[in-house]
Structure 1
Amino acid sequence: MPLIRPLLATLLVASACGSAYAADALRLSNLKRCGDLLVSETLTFCLDTRGLGSGPLEVKLGGKRLPDATFTHEGQTVRLTLKRKDHTSGPLWLEQDGKPSNPVWLTLNGSHVLAATPREVTKNMDGLTTYIDLVSLIIEEDADGLEVSRKLAKKYGAEVVGAIPPLNTYQLRLPAKDLTERDAMVLRLGSEISVDAVVIEESSAEENERTPAQLEKTPNENEWAANRFLDAVNYYQRRIPAKAAPIPTTPVRIGIIERNVDFDAADFNDYLGDAPRDAKRTPHTRVYARDAQAPDGHGTTVTGILAARWDKGGNTGFLRGLDGAGPGFEVIVERNSDAGITANIAASVNLIEDGVRVLNWSWGIHRIGARNIQGDEIDSLVRSGLAMSGYEELLEEFFLWLRREHPDVVVVNSAGNGSSLSGADEYRLPSSFVTDQLLVVGGHQRSEREDVSVDDPAYVVKRNSSNIDTRVDISAAACARASTLREDEQGDTHCGTSYATPMVTGIVAGLLSINPELKPEQLRMLLRRSAMTLGEEFDFEPTDAEDLTAPILPSERNFELNNPDIGLSARLDMQKALDLAVKSRDRVR
């Protein structure tokens, strides 16, 4: 993104944090449950830090200082013990010598799973890294999951070590020394009457989020104009506090399933501690995340599209641009542990129970054998059929629980970068699930046409790597600038549906701040009704089976059968979506 100077620069506060390279900067690099994960009353957390000295330390949870008796610290490790009944989930940070660390989200909910160490993984016959002795059991919903899991653990000489209680899912450590022993035990466990499915993990001990190598030309600097990004921020800043008819807003909590964010980056170095700002600019966006050591990481870029500072180089955050007019958005970056898809779901469950209304899933996997639209095999983020079947059952349980217990929550998921079909349930997860609570986002980039207006379908073209088909709800700009350590330095371009997804997450959060009564199906309707178009018209029957998104229907254009948008794919229009949300307040209530 180019540097954006006019209009909203006065809303943004310069950082007083000093050099991004300060060697003594206090940072929280990890926070996790430790000890017995099944204990529910007294919880123990282990915190890994950088820059922690030997002097007096303050630990703050939700802005309140915790008693010194609740924690100990030695070297760069802090061990914290809390009684659940005395606290609630909230942001936690450290302070030493008047210097705050980055805030991380501490959840008191009970969904936690263990990740394998490098010694506990191996390569399977497909060449994929897989866990040797850690598996998860999805217990039938009418059974007591913990009791059944403990009985099965005793029967098989295993140990229950983790849990996602709302999904009746429990993690076991098996007495297996190799894959032959593991697979034999998985087969036997799967045949138990009370077991619905067995989930195995195929993730490295430290598998980095990644996108395929970029084979397409570098996009131009005007990608977000295709979604009217600046128009949307301008509209929100003018319309919400308008003197004639101001719009009351509601705070929204957003969850991002990512590993960490670099708080030394110019985009994020004013989010430390409780991030105090000039009173005139409150409420304001907040970011809670573990600290990364590289400003161009996947989690930092995804989060930056929502929350990065403006006019400091690097990224530009949509929600950050709403500061002052908006209600104050909380952005929680959380991944539970490095235990792959199972940890993603555990983190999602905890976040939802902590009040998150919108979840950003900039991740997805393909089954081995999946092919792209050219017929070539996909070779990125693939899993075996055995792993995919377990993941599919786990995701099914998650969405059933979501519909039953949290029907107002919406998950925004990337369509994927395999040039394949996002809705092929045999080969793609989780975007292939069909539920009102899952919005799927494809990616586009600016075309070379300079003679067309922004609302012309030819203004953009599909990103060649983006997954497609009618399961994709909407397309958004796939490219963004990475964050940088130094201010006023332009970051590299990152592209993929991972970065289109938070564009939609941000606007959904904006819609909910205007009208919190909107249901997931209504949010999709507003996005589709407000959408611009891309692609060519095929009268609903594309000759090459390449619907970029679900085609726009007459019902999404006021039943105008001759509307030129009918049959085209849907492209995000952030400004018009906000306008429809304002108009929906009277209609929905």
Structure 2
Amino acid sequence: MGKLRAGAVGLVAMLSCLSFYAAAATPLRITQLQRCGDLLEMQQPTFCLQVTGLQKNQPQIRLNGPPFSANRIEQDGEQIRLQIDAASARSGPLWIDQQNQTSNPVWLSLGSSHVAAADQSAVVKNRDGLTTYLDLVSVIIEEGYDGPAEARRLAKHYDAEVVGAIPPLNIYQLRLSVDDLDQRDAAVLRIGNEVSVDAVVIEESGAEKSVERDTANPPIEASEESSSNRFLDAVNFYQRRLAKPSEPIEMHPVRIGVIERDVDFDAPDFADYLGDCRSGATRTCVYARDAEAADGHGTTVTGILAAGRNNGGNNGFLRGLDKVGPGFDVIVDRGSDAGITANIAASVNLVEDGARVLNWSWGIHRIGTRDVHGDPVDSLLRSGIAMSGYEELLEEFFLWLRRAHPDVVVVNSAGNGAAFSSRDDYRLPSSFITDQLFVVGGHQRSSKDVDLDDPDYATRRKASNSDMRVDITAAACTAGSAALAEQAGPVHCGTSYATPLVAGTIAAMLSINPELQPDQLRMLLRRSAMTIGQESDFEPMEADDLTAPILPSERENDLNNPDIGHSARLDMYKALELAVESLDKGR
């Protein structure tokens, strides 16, 4: 009997050890960080975290370094609620320490812009077969009205509740008391006719996975695609020129906001970003929620900017500048999963938190959009009524940006519908015309054996949207992050991945000369650009026009320059060289 009891005790002990090691094997990761509770509470906001790998003992949660007081933390399994005193805190990286483990750092923004996402029970299919929010709408209040007061009045009048807001844009989110789509549409029509209301935004978003993914067959080799933009030449120039003691250049840190869901911190490309990244003053840092797999959209987009070097996957451009760089912050955030409205809310918070560059690797097409061949586009579709609201939403954002933050740059993917990027009734947001919006098309290596600077060295990616609204093209295909070191990652293609090449180049230019304004940055990018494609005749756009044609003014007014009339292909090396030259011209 004693032996049986001893054996049982030993079995229990062994199972306990196995349970402990199984729990310990799960890495400590923050997979969600969102505002919760009352989204309109500004003095004592509440944030909810979803964390994997938590142990039973109390975790130590840090914001900007110092730990949170235990009485402000509530834990229920893998969920943690934090209440923050906004008067004594500031936006910054948050991470968790527990039992010799450190989590990924996420960016906690104390900005005022947050919108709620609908759960599965509050979305329905509309007449176009698209998923749409049933009871959540956003109301754009006219400038002359007190936004909070008017939002409360509208909510009371229409038996609704104010549940979210983007205060800098005078936008407030209402939860309507409706049971079906007919009731929602009737309420939207009535609210839209209010004198104080500029527009009503409805969301046509479900549980979206990735945005702007080109699923056409990628080329076999993606490793040489970035060479068409002189990627490594740019890294070498930055490291060599900025480390030159005889001609010192003062470096300036730059913050980049990436509107994506998450990043896989278990991938070797991101494994060394855990914990207090900013303990190294000059290194690139990544703040993001943790993803389940290494091949996600956010991991790939972010990897082009910041993946670790020589791990078998991406080689992040900004990470390559660490030896002499000023310290780049790459903040990956999308707020909630509330569609385009959440993208804008997160963008507003990031700008208010100091982001100088926003990477928007997303966009939408209106139902009925036709590609360059006249065939219907079938990716990222929205109805006409949704597009109308989104256009007003984006217009308010860019008006606010020009008024309050005129030095901020938004870099946007042209899209993968093989359509025209400039038609505002069919494509958003790339169709907007503003100095602060840069639109990026995608190219790939051609089969021709020509020099790097030859217009035929690269060719337009067939799926890439194009026309004169596109500012520049960049390599559309990249090797994504892999789950294991020295393992080749999958190849991803699309304008989503061309966009961070341009965003990273602009960030590096600003680290050299932070006085550069959006119009000057565009001029330097276009002046430095190599060419791609055939010469344009400057007539209204044709299917072969990849970008706005290079003008004489972008080639020192040399009317005989062979680049004139061609489309523009990103030259990262030359762009950085011109950024250095701009310092002398500004003195």
Could you say what secondary structure the match of 2:531 adopts?
Answer: strand
Single out whichever of 538-547 and 374-383 deviates more from structure 2: 538-547
| C-alpha displacement of 1:276 | 7.2
2:384 aligned residue: 385
Cα distance in 2, alignment partners of residues 47 and 283 from structure 1:
29
1:202 aligned residue: 204
1:421 aligned residue: 420
Instruction: Answer yes or no: is the 8 Å Cα contact 1:212–1:380 preserved in 2.
Output: no
1:273 aligned residue: 275
Q: Which amino acid aligns with 1:368?
A: I
Match of 2:102 among 100, 103, 107: 100
1:28 aligns with 2:30: yes
| C-alpha displacement of 1:213 | 2.3
2:547 aligned residue: 549
1:455 aligned residue: 453
| C-alpha displacement of 1:540 | 1.9
Q: Which amino acid aligns with 1:379?
A: D
Cα distance in 2, alignment partners of residues 312 and 287 from structure 1:
17
| C-alpha displacement of 1:215 | 4.3
Q: Which amino acid aligns with 1:273?
A: G
Note closer, same or farther for the CA distance 1:220–1:117 as it changes in structure 2 (3 Å cut): closer
Cα distance in 1, alignment partners of residues 157 and 137 from structure 2:
15
Could you say what secondary structure the match of 1:231 adopts?
Answer: helix
Cα distance in 2, alignment partners of residues 53 and 543 from structure 1:
60
Which runs of no fewer than 5 residues in structure 1 stay unpaired? 1-20
Match of 1:516 among 506, 514, 517: 514
Q: Spell out, residue by residue over 1:473-518, the C-alpha distance to the aligned partner (whole angstroms, 9 max, x if none).
A: 0000001111111000001110000000000000000000000000
Match of 2:571 among 567, 570, 573: 573
Could you say what secondary structure the match of 1:224 adopts?
Answer: helix
| C-alpha displacement of 1:244 | 1.0
1:351 aligns with 2:350: yes
Q: Spell out, residue by residue over 1:323-343, the C-alpha distance to the aligned partner (whole angstroms, 9 max, x if none).
A: 021100000000010000000
Instruction: Answer yes or no: is the 8 Å Cα contact 2:222–2:479 preserved in 1.
Output: no
Could you say what secondary structure the match of 2:81 adopts?
Answer: strand
Q: Spell out, residue by residue over 1:189-222, the C-alpha distance to the aligned partner (whole angstroms, 9 max, x if none).
A: 0000000000000000344435242146445531
Taking structure 1 as the reference length, the TM-score comes to 0.94
Match of 1:188 among 190, 203, 211: 190
Could you say what secondary structure the match of 1:42 adopts?
Answer: coil
2:172 aligned residue: 170
Could you say what secondary structure the match of 1:153 adopts?
Answer: helix
Could you say what secondary structure the match of 1:85 adopts?
Answer: coil
Q: Which amino acid aligns with 1:521?
A: D
1:159 aligned residue: 161
Cα distance in 1, alignment partners of residues 277 and 422 from structure 2:
41
Cα distance in 2, alignment partners of residues 422 and 543 from structure 1:
11
| C-alpha displacement of 1:40 | 1.1
Cα distance in 2, alignment partners of residues 100 and 333 from structure 1:
19
- Taking the TM superposition and a 5 Å limit, the aligned residue runs for 1:192-231 are 192-215=194-217, 217-231=219-233
2:122 aligned residue: 120
Note closer, same or farther for the CA distance 1:217–1:586 as it changes in structure 2 (3 Å cut): closer
| C-alpha displacement of 1:246 | 1.6
Cα distance in 2, alignment partners of residues 166 and 376 from structure 1:
40
Could you say what secondary structure the match of 2:87 adopts?
Answer: helix
Q: Spell out, residue by residue over 1:85-136, the C-alpha distance to the aligned partner (whole angstroms, 9 max, x if none).
A: 0100000000101211000000111100000001100111111000000000
Note closer, same or farther for the CA distance 1:461–1:99 as it changes in structure 2 (3 Å cut): same
Q: Which amino acid aligns with 2:509?
A: L
| C-alpha displacement of 1:68 | 1.5
1:43 aligned residue: 45
Aligned residues: 566
Match of 1:57 among 34, 46, 59: 59
Instruction: Answer yes or no: is the 8 Å Cα contact 1:116–1:205 preserved in 2.
Output: no
2:494 aligned residue: 496
| C-alpha displacement of 1:588 | 2.7
Instruction: Answer yes or no: is the 8 Å Cα contact 1:481–1:494 preserved in 2.
Output: yes
Cα distance in 2, alignment partners of residues 95 and 472 from structure 1:
45
1:528 aligns with 2:526: yes
Match of 1:485 among 468, 483, 486: 483
1:327 aligned residue: 326
Q: Spell out, residue by residue over 1:546-583, the C-alpha distance to the aligned partner (whole angstroms, 9 max, x if none).
A: 31000000000000000000000000000010000001
Cα distance in 1, alignment partners of residues 277 and 346 from structure 2:
24
Cα distance in 2, alignment partners of residues 92 and 180 from structure 1:
43
- Taking the TM superposition and a 5 Å limit, the aligned residue runs for 1:292-307 are 292-307=291-306
Q: Spell out, residue by residue over 1:368-397, the C-alpha distance to the aligned partner (whole angstroms, 9 max, x if none).
A: 000000000001101000000000000000
| C-alpha displacement of 1:309 | 0.5
1:145 aligned residue: 147
Q: Spell out, residue by residue over 1:160-186, the C-alpha distance to the aligned partner (whole angstroms, 9 max, x if none).
A: 000000000000000011100000000
Cα distance in 1, alignment partners of residues 99 and 222 from structure 2:
45
Could you say what secondary structure the match of 2:84 adopts?
Answer: strand
Q: Spell out, residue by residue over 1:436-492, the C-alpha distance to the aligned partner (whole angstroms, 9 max, x if none).
A: 000000000000012x11101010000000000000000000011111110000011
2:562 aligned residue: 564
Percent identical residues: 64
Match of 2:472 among 471, 474, 479: 474
Instruction: Answer yes or no: is the 8 Å Cα contact 1:219–1:446 preserved in 2.
Output: no
Pick the structure with greater CA Rg. Answer: 2
Cα distance in 2, alignment partners of residues 447 and 219 from structure 1:
12
Taking structure 2 as the reference length, the TM-score comes to 0.95
Q: Spell out, residue by residue over 1:10-35, the C-alpha distance to the aligned partner (whole angstroms, 9 max, x if none).
A: xxxxxxxxxxx973210000001111
Q: Which amino acid aligns with 1:535?
A: G
Q: Which amino acid aligns with 1:37?
A: L
2:409 aligned residue: 410
1:4 aligned residue: none
Cα distance in 1, alignment partners of residues 310 and 392 from structure 2:
45
Instruction: Answer yes or no: is the 8 Å Cα contact 1:440–1:472 preserved in 2.
Output: yes
Q: CA RMSD in A?
A: 1.5
Cα distance in 2, alignment partners of residues 576 and 123 from structure 1:
49
| C-alpha displacement of 1:82 | 0.7
| C-alpha displacement of 1:545 | 4.3
Q: Which amino acid aligns with 2:492?
A: H
Q: Which amino acid aligns with 1:196?
A: D
Instruction: Answer yes or no: is the 8 Å Cα contact 1:111–1:350 preserved in 2.
Output: yes
Q: Spell out, residue by residue over 1:49-87, the C-alpha distance to the aligned partner (whole angstroms, 9 max, x if none).
A: 000111131010011222222212121011100110010
Cα distance in 2, alignment partners of residues 47 and 301 from structure 1:
24
1:109 aligned residue: 111
Cα distance in 1, alignment partners of residues 419 and 167 from structure 2:
34
Cα distance in 2, alignment partners of residues 469 and 569 from structure 1:
10
Q: Which amino acid aligns with 1:529?
A: R
1:336 aligned residue: 335
Could you say what secondary structure the match of 2:289 adopts?
Answer: coil
| C-alpha displacement of 1:544 | 3.8
Cα distance in 1, alignment partners of residues 55 and 78 from structure 2:
8
Could you say what secondary structure the match of 1:86 adopts?
Answer: coil
1:540 aligned residue: 538
Q: Which amino acid aligns with 1:400?
A: L
Cα distance in 2, alignment partners of residues 541 and 454 from structure 1:
28
Single out whichever of 211-220 and 88-97 deviates more from structure 2: 211-220
Cα distance in 2, alignment partners of residues 78 and 215 from structure 1:
42
Note closer, same or farther for the CA distance 1:528–1:117 as it changes in structure 2 (3 Å cut): same
Q: Which amino acid aligns with 2:476?
A: A
Instruction: Answer yes or no: is the 8 Å Cα contact 1:115–1:205 preserved in 2.
Output: no
Cα distance in 2, alignment partners of residues 526 and 263 from structure 1:
35
Cα distance in 2, alignment partners of residues 223 and 130 from structure 1:
38
